Structure 1
Amino acid sequence: MWMGIDLGTQSVRAVLADDDGEILGSGSAPLTGRREGPLHEQLPGDWWTATAAAVRSALSGGHRPRALAICSTSGTVLLADGRGRALTPAVMYDDGRAPGRGPGRARLLLDAYGPGHIAHQADHIAARLAGRRLPTDSSHALKTGYDPEREVFDAPGVPVLPEVVRPGTLVGEVGREAEAATGIPAGTAIVAGMTDGCAAQIASGSLSVGSWNSVLGTTLVLKGVTAEPLRDPSGVVYSHRSPDGGWLPGGASNVGGGALRTAFPGADPAALDALARAHEPAGPIAYPLGARGERFPFRAPDATAFLLGEPASEAEHWAALLQGVALAERLCLDYLDLLGAPVDGPLAFTGGAARSAHWTGLRARVLGREVRVPLSSEPAVGMAVLAAYGAGAAGYGRDAATLAGTAARMVRPGTRVEGAGPDRFAGPYLTLVDELERRGWLPPQVASHAHTRTERRE
């Protein structure tokens, strides 16, 4: 039995899976935080309380894991003492008080609270489980300035950085104190995890060169597989190191479901989806950012959401937002193609939005290609797969030669959605591309490439 724990923004999720990927138990517990203007913080103690509740629920059927792995939001950091115990609140990945990625947030903590060890969200829970500070993984460390090619940190002004290991490495065992709190047996192996985007990619089974996974929830994350790191001079696309070699390039956009919740608080998405079917393509053109600034497929810290045209109804407004996310997703793939990435391989959809049949079909039609929706695509499932792989490599379970092989055994295939056909979205897409360029956010060469690919498709 293998456990995966996913530390999200709004909840902690835990699953227990067997060697063939059957989910034997699951649990979740909510999380809250403090948002005041650009500030976004959470309390590490709340993570632990929620983790214990989610894990106990997952274990309520009497099954027990042999190993576990943890994923968390990318770029969330805190200060910890020498044993891994939290000294400060956690600065969340989208906290806007510090420039740049994780290093800026780490310096913010050090300036505000003084000395301490930099720890990521997953590091803190792993330390609580083990009763001591453990190495971090290169995936979580990426946005704290870790260079996975040179295998060194490049984070000026951040003096106390953790030891780093490759994801899937056995780093410790659950201790007696944590057993009492969570129900996980002492001695259970702890395997170094990955960020939530990488975890979702593992859960999707998209681990062969040229395959991609699009994770759509509050935000949009695209991740794929290449034989070599993908070079992006702008730094918009970055590459994680795969647990068993190769590279996982990708990027994270601020468009996504968060913009829908802002525009329609308390709405019934299924009811609005049913009404939105009559508006395809939608007349108004939306760029539905959930927060100020954009980071993929272009970098524009001052970018804001916009809507071109006036919706005739709530249904058309909803349809425009759904379409806007899909158009942004298309632009992300065009940008990856511009960088030289193979983007025409298998494509999977995961994340909360994949539960919407209408939105999934719309996205497939906007992209003009077939997509897969795995049966169990949540990041916690990806961490269960990584735990099985890492434990096998360390002699704790079935021998797993590769992560892709372990995923092929454990990931259920799910459904296929066809999207090929006439490109009815070329007009809305190029209107959006031109508007992004006009505002000075989208570089001209990216806009030109989007036009070229659209012309080829037509």
Structure 2
Amino acid sequence: MRAARRSESSDAGAWLGIDLGTQSVRAVLIDADGAVLGSAAERLTSTRWPDGRHEQDPRHWWQAVAAATRHALATAGDIEVAALACCATSGTIALVRETSDDPAQPVTPGLMYDDGRAVEQARQVADDPAPAWRAAGLTPQRSWALPKALWLLRDGDPGPDVRLAHQADVVTSRLIGRPAPADTSHALKSGADLVGGGWPAADLARLGLDPRLLPPLVRPGTVLGEVCPAAAEQIGLPVGVPVVAGMTDGCAAQIASGVLRPGQWSFVVGTTTVLKGVSDTLLADPSGALYSHRAPDGRWWPGGASSAGAGLLSQEFDGVDFAALERQATDREPAGSVTYPLAGVGERFPFLRADATGVSWGNDRDRVDRFAAVLQGVAFVERLCLDHLRGLGASVDGPVTISGGATRSPYWTQLQADILGRPVAVPQVAEGAVGMAVLAAAATSGDPGARLAATAERMLGPVRVVEPRPGAHERFDTAYAELVRGLVELGWIDAALAGTALAGAA
């Protein structure tokens, strides 16, 4: 992606991407060559409680989207917007009512993706899953939107004209001036049938979710409608701009990373570590750790989210000079201890274990050694993720893409290439708003499935490639094998995964 300049082709128009995050809304305008013509962000506020509840006001979602878009348009100047798409956090929902003045008037707070109140409902869903979810390799988890929806409906019928809305649906409904269909990506954790493309209505009704509350489903990249007069006045866009069905924030970042062809894989390394990839076939994971989104072209985007990542660094080394520690950590390869770097309780990928906590084997010689062990531990988790995929029959031998906050550290990026034993590609930018602008461009240039990869390659530009240092991969094999054996002893991974991992470390 070419940042902060207007290209010669900008007169042909631009595409708007909107990313509804947890802390802010970001809007980005890019042209056909990937030049950034305008961008802006608007803060969001949350309310959290010690018992795990996490809410936002859905009215603020629209207000923040309108403000961020107006500011992005102002920085872009005189430009024609060809289309827009919106991504949002996965599993965030609210109940809304359609009125004559508002197609998505909130009747409940927005329950955020990590809201933990629906414990009983999550247990109910897990005990009675729909066969359609098994067919798609989906294992219901507490973070799903479905248990939250059942919690919102615990008192019975919410009344006429009420429906379930995902975070993105609230915005797209306001944009087109009528209740918008939900895309199957945002609806995955609400219980959508990704194989059939609809809702498993009978199974959801049995659980207590009336099918009449559910929005119609469409594939990502579908044109939902056009910006209506009321929205145009508030948001600063002209009437008639096409509004395209988006995907979750994780999938949007995948698009912005350019990981769109079968066999490609990416890691987003921030507080946690998210894996995404592309497969022609649906990968079945008996453990339930891996799940897949359905792509605009009908392919499968398998992935998972590990709780391991830079969160432990923030917890243990807050305020410390990272650059100085990194320079010293180069002499600790491998470190004196081997670490599985969890900052909290619970792991979701490459294995499911609700009681997992950070664990180390061996002894740290000093503070630098501990720092090195955490950096190496995150890369070991990535390596185990790829070994898990290999054990499921996926092809994982090519380069991987790394994005997220960890790429700000050249040393850590090099370390990941070394431990993974393969080239690591670092995209110029991998933010969700950019991914949505690319999807909007593909969707309005023909078949979004057929066009998405080619459109992304044109708009995103070249990546930076980091090659592994000679001999470095083998230098970490013993430490990686120690971590694998330790996880087996704890009972956190099975013999099959261990066998695959240890075969590669031989």
Normalised to the residue count of structure 2, the TM-score between the two structures is: 0.83
Q: What is the CA distance between 1:384 and its match in structure 2?
A: 0.7
Aligned to 2:15: 2
Q: 1:414 aligns with which of 463, 469, 484?
A: 463
Distance 1:449 1:325 in 2: 19
State which structure, 1 or 2, has the greater radius of gyration over its C-alpha atoms: 2
In structure 2, the residue matched to 1:34 is 47
The aligned amino acid for 1:197 is G
Q: Deviations over 1:22-52 (max 9, x none)?
A: 1111122333323323222222233333323
Rounded to whole Å, the distance in 2 between the matches of 1:290 and 1:180 is 45
Q: Does residue 445 of the first structure (1) align with residue 496 of the second (2)?
A: yes
The answer (yes or no) to whether the contact 2:256–2:435 under 8 Å persists in 1 is: yes
* Equivalent of residue 34 in structure 2, options 7, 11, 21: 21
CA positional deviation for 1:270: 4.5
Shift of 1:249: 1.2
Cα distance in 1, alignment partners of residues 392 and 353 from structure 2: 19
Between 1:375-384 and 1:26-35, the stretch displaced more is 26-35
Q: Contact 2:336–2:365 (CA<8 Å) still a contact in 1?
A: no
Match of 2:246 among 193, 198, 209: 193
- Cα distance, 1:449–1:376 mapped onto 2, change above 3 Å: same
CA shift for structure 1 position 265:
3.7
In structure 2, the residue matched to 1:96 is: 116
Cα deviation for residue 342 of structure 1 reads 0.9
> 178-187 or 318-327, which moves further after superposition?
178-187
Offset from partner CA, 1:259-302 (integer Å, 9 cap, x none): 33233345555554444434332223322224421111111122
Residue 121 (structure 1) aligns with:
167
Tell me how far apart the structure 2 counterparts of residues 266 and 279 of structure 1 sit (CA, whole Å): 22
What pairs up with 1:354-433 in 2 under 5 angstroms?
A: 354-393=407-446, 401-419=450-468, 421-422=470-471, 423-433=474-484
User: Tell me, what secondary structure is at the counterpart of 2:303?
Assistant: strand
8 Å CA contact retained: 1:219, 1:290: no
Q: Would the aligned equivalents of 2:51 and 2:117 in 1 still touch at CA under 8 Å?
A: no
Match of residue 86, structure 1, among 81, 101, 106: 106
Q: Secondary structure at the match of 2:169?
A: helix
User: Helix, strand or coil for the counterpart of 2:267?
Assistant: strand
The superposition leaves residues 186-234 of structure 1 with CA deviations (integer Å, 9 ceiling, x where unpaired) of: 3221100011121111111121111112112232111111111111122
Q: Which moved more, 1:270-279 or 1:415-424?
A: 270-279
Q: For the residues of structure 2 that align with 1:85 and 1:274, how far apart are their CA atoms?
A: 54
Call closer, same or farther: CA 1:152–1:181 in 2, change over 3 Å. Answer: same
Say how many residue pairs are matched: 451
Residue of structure 2 in register with 1:329 after alignment: 382
Shift of 1:309: 4.8
State the AA in 1 paired with 2:181: P
SS at match of 1:24: strand
Alpha-carbon offset, residue 142 of structure 1: 1.1
Q: Which residue of 2 aligns with 1:183?
A: 236
Instruction: Specify whether residues 277 and 412 from structure 1 end up closer, same or farther in structure 2 by C-alpha distance, changes over 3 A only.
Output: same
> Counterpart of 2:347?
294
Structure 1 residues 307 and 167: alpha-carbon distance in aligned structure 2, compared to 1, 3 A threshold: same
Distance in structure 1 (CA, Å) of the matches to 2:399 and 2:23: 30
**Contact 1:348/1:371 (8 A) holds in 2:** yes
* 1:40-439 equivalences in 2 (<5 Å): 40-59=54-73, 60-62=75-77, 63-82=79-98, 83-98=103-118, 99=122, 100=141, 101-111=144-154, 115=158, 116-154=162-200, 155=204, 156-159=207-210, 160-267=213-320, 269-270=322-323, 272-309=325-362, 311-393=364-446, 401-419=450-468, 421-422=470-471, 423-439=474-490
Structure 1 runs not aligned, ≥5 long: none
Unaligned runs of 5+ in 2: 1-13, 123-140
Aligned in 2, Cα 1:234/1:351: closer, same or farther, shift over 3 Å? Answer: same
Code of the aligned partner of 2:314: R
Out of 308-317 and 363-372, give the one that drifted further. Answer: 308-317
Match of 2:185, SS? helix
For 1:407, what is the secondary structure of its paired residue? Answer: helix
User: Which amino acid in 1 is paired with 2:255?
Assistant: I
Partner of 2:3: none
Partner Cα distance (1:365, 1:307) in 2: 21
Alignment check: 8 A CA contact 1:148 1:240 kept: yes
Could you say if the C-alpha distance between residues 79 and 262 of structure 1 is closer, same or farther in structure 2, counting changes exceeding 3 Å? farther
Question: For 1:153, what is the secondary structure of its paired residue?
Answer: coil
% identity of equivalent residues:
51
Mark the CA change 1:91 to 1:258 in structure 2 (over 3 Å): closer, same or farther. Answer: farther
Question: Cα–Cα, structure 1 residues 273 and 90, in superposed 2: closer, same or farther, change >3 Å?
Answer: farther
Distance 1:281 1:412, change over 3 A: same
Q: Secondary structure at the match of 2:505?
A: helix
Partner letter of residue 190 of structure 2? Answer: T
SS of 1:249 mapped into structure 2: strand
Corresponding letter in the other structure for 1:57: H
SS at match of 1:256: coil
Distance 2:280 2:96 in 1: 36
Taking the aligned partners of 2:27 and 2:321, their CA distance within structure 1 comes to 26
Task: Pick closer, same or farther for the CA change 1:252–1:48 going to 2, 3 Å.
Answer: same
Q: Alpha-carbon deviations, 1:98-157, whole Å to 9, x = none?
A: 332221122122227962422212112222323332011111111111121122324432
Residue 57 of structure 1 and its aligned partner are, at CA, apart by: 2.9
SS in 2 for 1:250: strand
- Classify 1:383/1:373 alpha carbon distance in 2 versus 1 (closer, same or farther; 3 Å): same
Distance 2:155 2:408 in 1: 41
Cα RMSD, aligned residues only: 2.3
Q: Distance in 1 between matches of 2:226 and 2:323?
A: 43
Answer whether contact 1:349 1:373 (CA < 8 A) is retained.
yes
Give the counterpart letter for 2:490 in structure 1. Answer: R
